[in-house]
Amino acid sequence: MIMPPIPTPFDAQGRLDAEAFRDLAQALEPHVDGILFYGSNGEGVHLTPAERIRGLEVQKPQKPPMVGLMEETIPQALEALQQAQIVGAKRVLATPPRYYAASTGNEGLLCYFTALADAGGPEVWLYHVPQNTKADLPLPVVAEAARHPGITGLKDSSGEMARLAFYQANRLELSVYTGHAPTFAAALALGAKGGILAAANLAPKAYKALLTAWRAGNVAEAQRLQARLEPFGRVLGQGGFVLLKQAMRYIGLPAGYPRPPYPQESPYWAAFKPLLEDLRAEGWLVG
């Protein structure tokens, strides 16, 4: 499965553009296996509850969607969990609470994820993205959470292969996906089933080709594609959602602008533009 965490479009004044959000999802969906709304690149943390609802109400997904939860407390998360059902999400992707991470402890993290899983709604997937949350998802917590029947998956965007090796070695009952494009092939070798990748907003065909080659046992082709795509994924990761939105606007997708105070243009654009153009020339981009 290749799934993009799609951006949430705002206009140049920072207002949610729900119609552009719908159009963007519909433009991307034919090229991927589903859409993640309000992931890290979806700026879910920049939305009010009312805006989250409005953004989901305009969507009409044809493939199974996923919704990100980036809340701090159980009541907040349960509200966001209920909102996810507006688009019929069967799964939610939940980061650990982070602002008071030093006080949460393993028991608090397990309490949080278990409360979501016990709510009887969508399945819960854990989301480890320490470069954004600045909070750890300890391996013992992952192993214990995996025992809950309502916690069924994990996205790991850290790029730490030792973590992927832990998941595989302990045979956790989780569907493991990577969010780190520069190590996609390595993650597949360590048991990942696919990628939930920011780069799939731009070049889903390329990452689907890599995944297809790996599944077919064509390791050499998968490695060749990974080497070809490594600079693209690495620089995009460095530029984050600001660069992603700029690149998507450049190729004609209605991704909008980052919400203030974040800049509209990325300092990584000069380095990324030629990589984008090269993939466009090779026919890998959306459209």
Per the annotation, where are the binding residues for pyruvate?
Answer: 196
- Cis peptide leading into residue 231 (ω within 30°): no
DSSP string across 261-282? TS-SS-TTHHHHHHHHHHHHHT
Query: Would you call 201 exposed, middle or buried from its count of C-beta atoms within 10 A (0-12, 13-18, 19+)?
Result: buried
Q: 10 by DSSP, 3-state: which?
A: strand
Q: Which residues have C-beta within 8 Å of that of residue 245, sequence separation ≥ 6?
A: 7, 255, 256, 257, 258
Angle between helices 269-281 and 219-250 (to 10 degrees): 120
Residues taking part in catalysis: 127, 155
The answer to whether 211 and 221 are in contact (CB under 8 A) is no
Annotated binding site: 196
Q: Which residues have C-beta within 8 Å of that of residue 15, sequence separation ≥ 6?
A: none
